[in-house]
Amino acid sequence: MNRFEQAFSTLKENKNKAFVPYIMAGDGGLDCLVDRLILLEKYGATAIEVGVPFSDPVADGPTIQRAGIRALENGTTLKGIIAEIGKARQVVSVPILLMTYMNPIYSYGINEFVKDIRLAGVDGCIIPDLPIEEEAIITPQLEEAEIELIRLVTLTTPMERIKTISSKGKGFLYTVTIKGITGARNEYDSELNQFLMAVKEVSPIPVLAGFGISSQDQIIDLTNYCDGVIVGSKIVELLNSQNLLELEKLMSVFKSKSEIV
């Protein structure tokens, strides 16, 4: 069993849902990446998504774009991030996902990239600008290294295509809950709940919802229809303002009351 299968089977046993926080590597300085990963595991993360800052982040909203700019200004590099994840792996046991666009991977070198992230103990990758038609440029290497490619579907993806996409992985399916870029939102599409249920019906792997999720109420509501959530912008904001109390509170959403006290 890989770390994802392990994490999700434990959740299932405990009838619990997944909470996957996203952080931007190098925001606050690359030195704090290991500490942040430790903190998020302590607060109950099921897995952690680590973003690679990139100059042209087409799917990212303002909060994550700004975090990316801060990280780049700090001199953050992909090599540096992978080295820090390698250190974190000694002490953090939840699955670690690397989120990057295809461009930084190309300039690193595809084979070199997969080799280095495997050695560092990365469990999965999210590559939002890599459609399934093109993914064979990297999936053979990822499979060989036993690294999961986490694929995305959106509200506008036809159901037949969702079937195909969800049959490919062993990690989870990332369901994008809004027609747009990342960032906190207050309102969801009225068809979202039904859409999530339909995706769950066809997907053999766990279905997680992401984009625009920022409150416990939203999380409780959405997880009636899926297996968990991914929260990015809100986490980035709370870490940047060092509001750890609020962060711990948000992440305690699936813990029973007795566990919190």
Ligand X SMILES: O=P(O)(O)OC[C@@H](O)[C@@H](O)c1c[nH]c2ccccc12
What is the rounded distance in angstroms from the CA atom of residue 28 to the CA atom of residue 239?
9
Query: How far apart are CB 129 and ligand X at their closest, in Å?
Result: 8
Concerning whether 49 is annotated as a catalytic residue, the answer is yes
Q: With CB under 6 A as the contact rule, which of the stretches 59-67, 69-77, 158-166, 199-207 interacts with ligand X?
A: 59-67
Cβ-based neighbour number of residue 119 at 10 Å: 13
Q: Binding ligand X by CB under 6 A: which of 121, 128, 206, 228?
A: 128
Q: How far is CA 162 from CA 12, 55, 175, in A?
A: 23, 30, 10
In the residue annotation, 129 being an active-site residue is answered as no
Tokens 């299932």 found at = 12
Q: How far is the CB of 257 from ligand X (least distance, A)?
A: 26
Q: Please name the residues in contact with 164: beta carbons below 8 A apart, sequence gap of 6 or more.
A: 132
Residue 49 sits in the site that holds ligand X (CB under 6 A): yes
CB of 155 to ligand X, least distance (A): 14
Which one among 232, 238, 239, 250 touches ligand X, defined by CB under 6 A?
232
Q: How far apart are CA 230 and CA 213, in angstroms?
A: 8
**Which residues on neighbouring strands pair with residue 21, listed in sequence order?**
231
Please, what is the minimum distance in Å from the beta carbon of residue 246 to ligand X? 15
In this structure, which amino acid lies at residue 226? C
In the list 212, 225, 227, 253, the residue contacting ligand X (rule: CB under 6 A) is: 212
| Under 8 Å between Cβ of 136 and 159 | no
Region near ligand X per CB under 6 A, out of 27-35, 141-149, 160-168, 209-217: 209-217
Interface residue with ligand X among 4, 22, 172, 225 (CB under 6 A) is: 22
Q: Which of 243, 209, 205, 241 is CA-nearest to residue 223?
A: 209
Contacts with ligand X by CB under 6 A lie at 22, 49, 51, 59-60, 64, 99, 126, 128, 182-183, 210-213, 230-234
